[in-house]
């Protein structure tokens, strides 16, 4: 939605950061951040429309609860954007390390295969098809081809002392890992925690205002359709 950029909304993140980073047991963020902002603006408009009734019902000024909801949603949006960026950067770094390690194993496997099966036409054709310096999927495929060829000749390979059984196994595993999503990472954990903390602050404010508007609507017979974050 318009206006959702980190640069435009970082001021809201900085405003509420001292509050939400103090949350020790944050909830798991489970609402789309853009949707949180969009619906917060709608709920804020409802609150403004019925501010007099809300203040009279709760005998306390509620303006701040209403006018800060969307800003807390924006702070959550920024926290989530930073988390996604951290995850993307981290995943790219991990995958690059895997790519380099796969390249080393690929070179090693090709050299060993050439050494133990000189003149073998199938091996010659396979080695001619191996393309060093290619993309992730091509390198993964090359590793798998070498893994199969070396496994078929495992006894001879291991017996030669040129490559261990564990190294052959690793050649097959790393090919799979290159084309799988990066799952278990640590670099983005702190960013994820901050995102969850910002979400917890936002969702608390959201539920509080929803409760206030719902009660006022019921007591005054108003027809107000409260927006839902989970629908």
In this predicted model, what pLDDT tens digit does every residue of 91-114 receive, in sequence order? 666 677 778 888 888 888 899 989
**Cα distance between residue 61 and residue 213, in whole Å:** 14
Of the two residues 34 and 1, the one the predictor is more confident about is 34
Does residue 2 register a pLDDT over 50?
A: no
Predicted confidence at residue 196, as pLDDT, reads 95
Segment 51-56 shows an average pLDDT of 85
Does residue 119 register a pLDDT over 90?
A: no
Among 11-20, 103-112, 139-148, 186-195, name the one with the lowest average pLDDT.
186-195
Contacts of residue 81, Cβ cutoff 8 Å, sequence gap at least 6: 6, 33
The two structure tokens encoding residue 24? 């020790």
Secondary structure in 3-state letters for the chain: CCCCCHHHHHHHHHHHHHHHCCCCCCCCCCCCHHHHHHHHHHHHHHHHHCHHHHHHHHCCCCHHHHHCHHHHHHHHHHHHHHHHHHHHHHHHHHHHHHHHHHHHHHHHHHHHHHHHCCCCHHHHHHHHHCCCCCCHHHHHHHHHHHHHHHHHCHHHHHHHCCCCHHHHHHHHHHHHHHCCCCCCCCCCHHHHHHHHHHHHHHHHHHHHHHHHHHHHHHHHCCCCCCCCCCC
Predicted confidence at residue 217, as pLDDT, reads 86
Q: Give the number of C-alpha atoms closer than 13 A to the C-alpha of residue 103, restricted to the C-beta side.
A: 12
**If you average pLDDT over every residue of the chain, what do you get?**
85
- Helix pair angle (69-116, 165-178), 10° resolution: 140
∠ CA(172), CA(173), CA(176), 5° rounding? Answer: 95
The two structure tokens encoding residue 195? 């995102």
Does residue 224 register a pLDDT over 90?
A: no
Contacts of residue 129, Cβ cutoff 8 Å, sequence gap at least 6: 142, 145
Buried b / exposed e along 54-92 (16+ C-beta atoms within 10 A): beeeeeeebeebbebbbbbbbbbbbbbbbbeebbeebbe
Segment 50-78 shows an average pLDDT of 87
Predicted confidence at residue 134, as pLDDT, reads 63
């Amino acid at each position: 939605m318009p206006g959702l950029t980190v640069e435009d909304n970082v001021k809201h993140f900085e405003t509420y950061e001292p509050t939400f980073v103090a949350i020790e047991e944050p909830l798991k963020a489970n609402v789309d951040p853009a949707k949180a902002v969009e619906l917060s603006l709608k709920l804020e408009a409802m609150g403004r429309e019925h501010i007099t009734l809300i203040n009279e019902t709760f005998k306390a000024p509620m303006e701040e609860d209403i006018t800060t909801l969307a800003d807390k949603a924006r702070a959550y949006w920024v926290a989530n954007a930073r988390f996604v960026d951290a995850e993307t950067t981290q995943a790219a770094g991990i995958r690059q390390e895997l790519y380099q390690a796969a390249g080393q194993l690929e070179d090693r496997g090709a050299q060993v295969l050439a050494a133990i099966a000189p003149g073998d036409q199938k091996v010659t054709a396979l080695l001619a098809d191996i393309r060093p310096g290619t993309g992730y999927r091509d390198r993964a495929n090359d590793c798998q081809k070498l893994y199969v060829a070396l496994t078929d000749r495992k006894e001879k390979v291991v017996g030669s002392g040129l490559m261990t059984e564990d190294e052959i196994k690793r050649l097959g595993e790393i090919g799979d890992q290159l084309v799988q999503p990066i799952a278990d990472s640590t670099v983005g954990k702190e960013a994820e925690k901050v995102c969850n903390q910002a979400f917890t602050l936002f969702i608390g404010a959201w539920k509080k205002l929803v409760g206030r508007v719902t009660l006022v609507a019921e007591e005054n017979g108003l027809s107000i359709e409260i927006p839902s974050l989970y629908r």
